[in-house]
Structures are given as structure tokens and as C-alpha cells.
């Protein structure tokens, strides 16, 4: 017998009841995670333990498959739930990796990144002192007995601020910076300070809710043993450090930041110049174009000066941009000539250069685009 | 008393038990959804009902907040679970919107998009006939009594295929195409056929698992009442149609497809030309750059000829690319001159042009980037 409309309502009520039990389950899990968080704070276990996460996911995937439930579905859900857990675990504070921590002075500590890191140090039991533009008359007081002096100021101020700090630094303090250029600031730190030095670049912005799974690039400096605790402290917060030499880091950043932001800037200026009809475009866009548009538009919601600094302060950025322009001119010449065969040849050469990563990127972005589509409402 | 390591293991076992109950819950929900699917097939209720989804999410968000569970977490989980449901609901077939459906002939039906749509028609109870390049000698047999002749061939073949079909079309059949350019194919269809005509452009590729939440652009044609059932059938599959005039569609696509793919192509060629060290870049990349790299690399994992057609067959694409080149030249001139103030001025002008959408795009992409980060493993 074919069920009637009443049956659909009954089925939907049962689905709603199942979803309510999901919420109960999440509340129960949240309480368990809070206990884990308290335990980790007391014992100093890192927030993010890759092996535990991998083992948990593998076991649940197998159980899902055995129950006829999509293993990918279960993995996606658990990854999303764990993100919430990482945030929750930090609520009770973090372990301090030092037995007797000296104060941490953050130069530029009132800025967004300075506040984020200051908050993490405070929640880990460090005394945090902020040295901002107005505080130079008190610099000796603020740096007295400091174990770490962390420079968190705009890119184009970093070298001058480091020089100005030099005479005031306690000899044994670790001097570190978090600027997105590394060679110049590292040289300046080594010149300004005779004690331990560490050049870092956190690969995240101040709006991340948790440092779990974030990357901090470590370009070294002087006397690494004396500042090893700083990397350990980042590990407790869930971040990992990747060691890369400063010049190599700067070359990579010219591509990742300067050139990419520059081309995104040009694309946004072009859309505005064409005065394209965004409403029509959004109404008919596939998730992929909406995402690409969002990746362009998000730049312009941010600070013009920050992006001016990232682009104009890059040592290799201009040369990269000039060569990009030359390649675009070549490609437009192909287009003008209607040379499809030339286009396809360069397309295939570029595919060969990407190698197996092209297919990896396709699969990876497909997963994300499916997530983007989950969020689309017709209303 | 501080708990010991044994307590951490005990807590983790309880978390694992909770996660196993999540799997049981998903299995139970899957069975309920399968019953809903059977009901919808029998009664022809569309797979995706926006109001039901919105009401469900709102109710669960409120309940989550009341239980002290993140409402965003619950919404993200339910959206992901519902994606699985939409796929599952189609497994039992779809309702046919016609009482007595005539055969559907798909020209180019052996291609990826032709197969995807053919499969949906078949699962909805239509007799599907495929007319591929080798089948022209049998064209009259294949089109006999067809209620719909759907043209699904490469862009540059569409007009010639439509002309060739003309003399063989049953007078009352709906002639429709799914090419990504619309003005030319629509004119060709109106000239080749005296019966109902409908120019469509599905804004998705053949790899989508479900048509739920996908968009089909409808550029109209002739005698819309006679082909309204086709749009109804797309609605049963979960897709929505958006009506846009053909010239307006083509202008939007020049931006969304031709120009965007062209600049992505140039960026990939540039990365290959610079021979950038992808391994280093990936090891230190933030999720945002990894995503941007993936959006570039994914292009090259696909068909060179398809992208050559999309770019070279666009009527306005070349003019757009020429103007983009001019704007890039201006921006490089700013860069060369070190004119930060000029950069910031254009940045702000472009922000003003995006208007409130810039902030929307920032928030939207932040959500997606957090999802990208969920998937990052340190191993």
C-alpha cells in the first residue's frame, strides 16, 4: 500500500526526533571534551594530537562502513565536531611549558595579532606586558626581566622597531618577531640583540578561533635551544612549526602573498571597472564561481594598508608581477590570434608541471565545493 | 584531586562510545530518509524542499542553543547529513512529472553531461535514446515519437548539430540544448524547429553526485507552456531554474567562465614558468593559499579542449581579456612607481563597488576556510 501525506509527516517527525538526539549526543560529548580539556591543562598534553585524531577517524570510518553508513560522511562530521572540541579545550587555559615563566613583552601588543597571541600567553599562565606606540617612555620598565620580547608590528615598521628596542633588551631574553617578511627582520634582530633570536611567521590571521592545526614558519635565528620552549608552547596551543630558511621563506611568500594578492587586487579592480552585474552573476553562479568571487571580494573587506605593505614590501614581488604581465600579454596574443592549438599546448605543459598534484587539487576542491553547496539556500 | 593518565584513556573511551552512537543514529536516520525517498517517488514530492530544510534547521538551531551546544555546529552537521540524504532519496528513482511520457532523445548522450541527464530521465521512468556521432544514419528511428530532443554536444558543434537535426525533428517535440553559450544556439534552434524550443544552461558539471541545490539557467525559447514539464522535472531532481535572457546570460558567462578561466590559465602558466617550489609552498601554506592553489591546479586536471572552447567561443571574452590586460598594466605601473597611495585609493574604490557584499564574501569564505582547515592533517 502506498503511504499517504500523513505518513510523510510521521516520517519527518521521526527524523526530527533523531536530529534532537544528535543534539543531546553533542551536549554529552561537549561535557566529555571539557573534562579532557581540564586534564590536558593540568598535565600539559597538547590540544591537538594528530595520532589520536587519525586513529579515531580510522576506527569510526571502519565502523560506519560496517553499518552501511558513508565513511566520508562520518569523517566529515567528526572533523567538524573536533574543530569545536579544539576551541572548547582551550577555554580552561593551556599548560605553560615553563616551570617558572618570565614575563612576555609584546611590542605592538594592542594590534589584532598581538592581542591573539597575548591572550594565548595569558591563558597559559604568563605575565603579558604590552608595549604599544605610546609606551616607549616606559620601555625599560616593560622589558625588565622579560623572558620573551615578541615584535608584532606592521611589516614596514619591524626593522626600525627592532633597532629601537636593541639597547633596552635584557641580555638573556628571547627576541622574536612575527612579520611576514623574514630576511630583513632576522638580520635586524641579530644586529640589535646579542641573546637568543627567533624569526617566526604565523601563517594565519587574527580571526582564527583556535590555533589547532595552524602553521608557524620558523626561520631560526641564534641559540635555538634557548627559545625551543616557544615552539613547544605553540605546540601546546595546537599549532605546528615548519623550519624554512629566511630567504627561501621570502621567495615563497612573494608568490603566496605578494603576487597572489596583487592578481586578486587586479581582478577585483577589473570587475569594478566593467561594472559587472553582480546580482545576476550570483543568481546563476555555480558554487565554484561564487567561491572564486568570494575569494576576490574578501580581499577588499580587509585593510588596504596591510595589503599595500604585503605587496610593496615584498623584495621579489615586483619582478614576479612584471613577468606575470609578460605571460598575460603572450596569452592575450594567443587569444587574439584564435590560436586554440597554442592554448591547448601551454595547458598541457602546465598540467605536466603540476604533475599528480593537479588531480589531487581537483579532488580536494571538489570536496570543498560540495561543502559550499551544502550552504546554498534558495530563499 | 588531579586525574591521572588512566582517566584520559577512560574519557577517550567514553568519547569513542558517543561517536559510535552517532554512527547508529546516522544509520537510523538513513533508513527513515529511505522511506521518505520511497514516499517522494510515489507521490512526486520534490527531493529538495527549501522551506522544510529551513524550518528544520531553524528548529534544531534553537534547540542546540537551549542545550548549550553551538547552533552553527549543529547547522553545519545537519547540512552535511542532508547532502547525503538528497543523494540517497534518488536511489529509488524519481517521480516522472508526465502521466504518459514520450521518449527523450539525447544528442551527444554518450558524453559525460549527456549520461548524467540520461540517467536522471531513465530513473524517472522516461525511455532514453542516445544519438551519438555514429548514429546519424538512424536519426529518424531515434527521434520518432520523441517528446524531447536534448542537444548535449561541445559548444562549437552545437549550432551545426542543431541545423543538421532540423529536418528530422518531430513537429511537436521540445527541442532544447544545454550549451554554455545561449544566444547563437537559441537562434539556431528557433530557425531549425517550428515546435517548442527551450535554451538551458546547467550551472554544474557531470561530477556532481546529486542535482539537489544545483542551478539551471533558462533562457526561454518558444511556446514555454509546452516545455514547462521539463523545468518541473528538474525541480523533482532538486535543481532550480533561473530565467535570464540569452544575451544577458552570455555577457555574465564571459565574466564567469571565459575571463575567469583565462586568468586562472595565465596564473597556472606563470607558476609553471617560474617553476615555483610547490612542495615548500604547500608545507607552509595557510588554508586560503592552498585553496587558491587548488582552484588553479584543478583547471589543469580537466580537458584542455573544453576550456579552449569556453574561452575562444565566448563572444565578449577577448574584449574582456584585453581590458583586463590594460588594467593589469596600470597596476604594474603603480607597483613599479612604489605608489602605495594610488594602490590604496583603487583598493577603496573597489571596496565601495563591492559594497556590503565584500563583508558577506569575507564571512562566507571564512566559513569555508575553516572547513578546509578541518581536513588538514599533520602527517
d(CA B358, CA A261): 15
* HSE, side-chain direction, 13 A CA sphere, residue B270: 26
For residue A207, give the nearest of B295, B301, B366 by CB distance.
B366
**Which pairing describes strands A148-151 and A128-131: parallel, antiparallel, or unpaired?**
unpaired
Order of all β-strands in the sheet with A197-202:
A128-131, A104-107, A148-151, A174-177, A197-202, A215-222, A240-243
Q: What is the mean pLDDT of each run of 10 residues along chain B (379 residues)?
A: 68 93 93 85 75 90 92 91 80 87 94 94 96 95 97 93 97 96 96 98 85 91 96 92 94 90 95 91 82 90 92 91 97 97 96 93 82 59
For residue B77, give the nearest of A20, A22, A280 by CB distance.
A22
**Which pairing describes strands A174-177 and A197-202: parallel, antiparallel, or unpaired?**
parallel
For residue B374, give the nearest of A21, A80, A346 by CB distance.
A80
User: CB–CB of B268/B294 below 8 Å?
Assistant: no
Residue B81 near chain A (CB below 8 Å): yes
**Which pairing describes strands A197-202 and A215-222: parallel, antiparallel, or unpaired?**
antiparallel
Residue-level pLDDT at B370:
77
Which among A265, A205, A209 has a CA at the least distance from the CA of B344?
A265
Phi-psi category of residue B285: left, alpha or beta, with phi > 0 → left and psi -120 to 50 → alpha: beta
**Distance from first CA to last CA of chain A, Å, rounded?**
35
Residue A285 host element (H or E): none
**Within the 13-32 window of chain B, which residues sit less than 8 Å (CB to CB) from chain A?**
14-16, 18-30, 32
For residue A354, give the nearest of B82, B280, B297 by CB distance.
B297
Order of all β-strands in the sheet with B215-222:
B128-131, B104-107, B148-151, B174-177, B197-202, B215-222, B240-243
Q: Which residues have a Cβ under 8 Å from the Cβ of A373 and sit 6 or more positions away?
A: A287, B83, B213, B214
d(CA B76, CA B97): 32
User: CB–CB of A270/A239 below 8 Å?
Assistant: no
- What is the DSSP secondary-structure string of B275-292? T--HHHHHHH--HHHHHH
B252/A320 touch (CB, cutoff 8 Å), yes or no? no
For residue A60, give the nearest of B23, B294, B296 by CB distance.
B23
A18/B29 touch (CB, cutoff 8 Å), yes or no? yes
**Within the 328-357 window of chain A, which residues sit less than 8 Å (CB to CB) from chain B?**
328-329, 331-332, 335-336, 338, 340, 343-344, 346-351, 353-354, 357
Q: What is the mean pLDDT of each run of 10 residues along chain A (379 residues)?
A: 68 93 93 85 75 90 92 91 80 87 94 94 96 95 97 93 97 96 96 98 85 91 96 92 94 89 95 91 82 90 92 91 97 97 97 93 82 59
d(CA A35, CA B232): 53
Grid cell listed for A254? 612573494
B54/A377 touch (CB, cutoff 8 Å), yes or no? yes
Burial of A21 (0-12, 13-18, 19+ CB in 10 A): middle
Q: Is the ipTM of this complex over 0.85?
A: no
DSSP label of B107 = E
Burial of A117 (0-12, 13-18, 19+ CB in 10 A): buried
CA A159 to chain B, closest CA, distance in angstroms equals 19
HEC letters along A174-211:
EEEECCCCCHHHHHHHHHHCCCCEEEEEECCCCCCCCC
- What is the DSSP secondary-structure string of A223-283? -HHHHHHHHHHHHHTT-EEEE--HHHHHHHHIIIIIIHHHHHHHHHHHHHHHT--HHHHHH
**Within the 41-60 window of chain B, which residues sit less than 8 Å (CB to CB) from chain A?**
42-43, 45, 50, 52-54, 56, 59-60
Q: Which residues pair with B176 in a beta bridge?
A: B150, B198
B23/A307 touch (CB, cutoff 8 Å), yes or no? no
A78/B19 touch (CB, cutoff 8 Å), yes or no? yes
CA A258 to chain B, closest CA, distance in angstroms equals 11
Residue-level pLDDT at A379:
29
Residue B308 near chain A (CB below 8 Å): yes
**A108, A150, B10, B57 from A129: Cα distances, Å:** 10, 10, 39, 44
At CA A159, angle to CA A153 and CA A162, rounded to 5? 75
User: CB–CB of B276/B245 below 8 Å?
Assistant: no
Q: Which residues have a Cβ under 8 Å from the Cβ of B161 and sit 6 or more positions away?
A: B107, B108, B151, B153
Residue-level pLDDT at B38:
82
B78/A19 touch (CB, cutoff 8 Å), yes or no? yes
CA dihedral A94, A95, A98, A99 (to 10 degrees): 130
**Which pairing describes strands B215-222 and B197-202: parallel, antiparallel, or unpaired?**
antiparallel
Phi and psi at B241, nearest 5°, equal: -105, 145
Residue B327 near chain A (CB below 8 Å): yes
Residue A6 near chain B (CB below 8 Å): no
Residue owning grid cell 584531586:
B1
For residue A377, give the nearest of B50, B74, B288 by CB distance.
B50
Q: Which residues pair with B130 in a beta bridge?
A: B106
Chain A environment of B370 (Cβ under 8 Å): 83, 209
Amino acid at each position: 500500500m502506498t503511504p499517504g501525506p500523513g505518513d510523510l509527516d510521521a516520517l519527518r517527525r521521526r527524523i526530527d526526533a533523531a536530529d534532537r538526539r544528535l543534539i543531546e549526543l553533542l551536549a554529552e560529548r561537549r561535557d566529555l571534551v571539557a573534562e579532557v580539556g581540564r586534564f590536558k591543562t593540568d598535565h600539559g598534553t597538547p590540544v591537538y594530537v594528530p595520532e589520536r585524531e587519525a586513529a579515531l577517524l580510522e576506527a569510526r570510518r571502519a565502523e560506519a562502513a560496517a553499518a552501511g553508513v558513508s565513511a566520508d560522511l562520518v569523517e566529515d562530521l567528526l572533523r567538524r565536531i573536533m574543530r569545536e572540541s579544539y576551541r572548547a579545550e582551550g577555554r580552561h587555559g593551556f599548560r605553560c611549558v615553563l616551570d617558572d615563566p618570565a614575563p612576555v613583552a609584546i611590542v605592538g601588543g594592542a594590534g589584532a595579532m598581538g592581542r591573539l597571541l597575548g591572550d594565548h600567553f595569558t591563558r597559559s599562565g604568563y605575565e603579558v606586558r604590552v608595549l604599544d606606540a605610546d609606551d616607549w617612555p616606559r620601555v625599560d620598565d616593560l622589558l625588565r626581566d622579560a623572558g620573551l620580547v615578541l615584535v608584532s608590528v606592521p611589516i614596514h615598521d619591524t626593522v626600525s622597531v627592532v633597532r629601537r628596542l636593541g639597547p633596552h633588551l635584557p641580555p638573556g631574553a628571547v627576541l622574536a618577531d612575527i612579520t611576514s617578511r623574514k630576511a630583513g627582520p632576522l638580520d635586524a634582530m641579530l644586529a640589535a640583540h646579542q641573546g637568543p633570536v627567533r624569526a617566526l611567521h604565523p601563517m594565519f590571521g587574527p580571526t582564527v578561533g583556535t590555533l589547532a592545526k595552524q602553521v608557524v614558519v620558523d626561520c631560526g635565528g641564534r641559540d635555538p635551544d634557548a627559545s625551543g620552549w616557544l615552539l613547544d608552547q605553540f605546540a601546546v596551543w595546537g599549532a605546528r612549526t615548519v623550519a624554512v630558511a629566511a630567504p627561501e621563506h621570502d621567495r615563497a611568500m612573494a608568490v603566496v602573498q605578494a603576487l597572489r594578492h596583487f592578481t586578486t587586487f587586479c581582478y577585483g579592480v577589473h570587475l569594478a571597472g566593467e561594472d559587472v552585474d553582480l546580482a545576476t552573476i550570483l543568481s546563476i553562479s555555480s558554487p565554484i564561481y561564487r567561491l572564486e568571487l568570494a575569494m576576490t571580494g574578501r580581499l577588499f573587506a580587509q585593510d588596504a594598508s596591510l595589503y599595500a605593505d604585503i605587496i610593496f614590501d615584498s623584495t621579489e614581488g615586483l619582478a614576479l608581477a612584471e613577468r606575470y604581465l609578460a605571460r598575460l600579454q603572450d596569452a592575450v596574443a594567443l587569444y587574439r590570434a584564435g590560436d586554440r592549438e597554442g592554448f591547448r599546448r601551454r595547458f598541457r605543459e602546465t598540467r605536466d608541471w603540476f604533475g599528480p598534484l593537479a588531480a589531487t587539487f581537483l579532488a580536494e576542491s571538489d570536496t570543498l565545493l560540495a561543502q559550499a553547496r551544502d550552504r546554498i539556500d534558495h530563499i
